[in-house]
Amino acid sequence: MKVAILSFYSGLVSRGVETFVTELSARVKDKVDLKVYSANKLPRSGNKLSYIFADPPSLAIKRFTQRVLVQLEADPPDIIMALNNGWMSLLTKQFCRRNKTKLVLAGFSGIGWDDKVNLWLNPDCFVACTRWQAEWAGKINPKTRIETINIGVNTDRFRPDGDKFKPGLKPPLVLVVAGPQKFKRVDLVIAAVSRLPQASLLVVGQQEDKINSLGRKLLGGRYRNIQVDYQDLDRVYRACRVYTLPSGSSEAYGISILEAMASGLAVVVNDDPIRRELVGAAGILADPTDMPAYVAALAQALNSTDVNRYRRQAEKFSWDKIGKQYLDLWSSLV
């Protein structure tokens, strides 16, 4: 069985999708003929006309997909997984129709227009990351085959024991791993931690100047924003006491939540169906826009020490189990 995975950003950035590709490939490469196709440089940024896939990143993904599909024409794979939506999904659908290749699309963007388009393309299978997303997808296109397969966590790497990063902040530390997108709502974490004088805040991931200015204004020396390579992120988790992700329900998943729990951290996340599914009874759910409730939840987490409970929840998302689920899915398609 030949499987091709198209993942434009693999090797260029380390986010949920790229982590998925790395971890899945490591577990199935000896069982199938698998090849991952990725770009060799990042596109220039820009969001103009993104609603019709005419922004610079979308056009770069279009050109990349066209080049890869030309290569594959000579010997088409049995299955293609296209992971970057938009032009990639559209062009790959056309290729698969011509070559009788099976198309698998995944809901890594979360509930929204990207995955509506993916579903309307009628792939041979749409993979939902959570049960909640699968229910939503079934309403968008009830004729498409939908399978629920979680994104996993490497519990061998992310664990409580091991080397720790030295962040240069006074403990206990509250950690958030987030990009600069507004829906990440890092400003809410800053405001909440400012009301917890015993805690410091470490933000991993590039932030806009106004967010860092707010952090310095409200927290002073209790705030730090850093960027670290993904290979060093496990050491960062171990240096902290609490992990929080205040993103709203538009957050597609939250692999960092699983990494934090696997590392033994108490987690405080938005109270929505996807986060409830990820943290189970081990996490603390709160509405980050309700500041008194959010502060109380963080205070509760800072006093929590049940490391084993967090680990047990993370272990439910084993990559070995997920690898087998994908092998079973691919086999069923061919």
pLDDT one-digit tens code per residue, 51-83? 567 778 888 999 999 999 999 999 999 999 999
177 in the same domain as 107: no
Is the same domain home to 189 and 300? yes
- Total residues belonging to the chain: 334
The reply to whether 322 and 309 lie within a common domain is: no
162 in any annotated domain: no
Instruction: Round to whole Å and give the CA distance between 92 and 90.
Output: 6
> Is position 159 within any domain?
no
**Could you tell me if 322 and 308 lie in one domain?**
no
pTM of the model: 0.86
Residues 129 and 12 in one domain: yes
Does residue 198 sit in the same domain as residue 241? Answer: yes
pLDDT at position 42: 76
Is residue 139 exposed (0-12), middle (13-18) or buried (19+ Cβ within 10 Å)? exposed
Strand bridging mode 79-82 / 102-106: parallel
Reference 244, options 292, 302, 290, 158; nearest CA is 302
Q: What is the number of structural domains in the chain?
A: 2
Shared domain check, 10 and 140: yes
CB 293 within 8 A of CB 271: no
Sheet bearing 79-82, strands edge to edge: 33-37, 2-6, 79-82, 102-106, 125-128, 146-148
| CA 319 to mean position of chain CA atoms | 14
Q: Is the domain of 47 the same as that of 120?
A: yes
CATH of the domain at 35: 3.40.50.2000
How far is the C-alpha of 214 from the C-alpha of 13, rounded, in Å?
Answer: 26
User: What is the C-alpha to C-alpha distance for residues 179 and 56, in angstroms, rounded to an integer?
Assistant: 19
Radius of gyration of the chain (CA): 20
Q: Residues of the chain whose pLDDT is less than 70?
A: 44-52
Say whether 105 sits in a helix, a strand or coil.
strand
In a domain, 28, yes or no: yes
CB 278 within 8 A of CB 253: yes
* 144 and 49 fall within a common domain: yes
Residue 307 lies in a domain: yes
CA-based torsion, 104, 105, 107, 109: positive or negative: positive
Q: Are residue 96 and residue 200 in the same domain, yes or no?
A: no
pLDDT of residue 51: 52
Could you tell me if residue 290 is inside a domain? yes
Q: Is residue 161 part of a domain?
A: no
**Domain membership flag for residue 165:** no
Taking each helix axis from N to C end, the angle separating 113-120 and 131-140, rounded to the nearest 10 degrees, works out to 60
For 28, the domain range is 2-152+318-333
**160, part of any domain:** no
Burial 168-195 (b: 16+ CB within 10 A, else e): ebeeebbbbbbeeeeebbbbbbbbbbbe
Q: How far is CA 57 from CA 7, 60, 86, 306, in A?
A: 13, 5, 11, 43
Answer yes or no: do 267 and 304 share one domain. Answer: yes
Residues 121 and 196 occupy one common structural domain: no
pLDDT at 314: 94
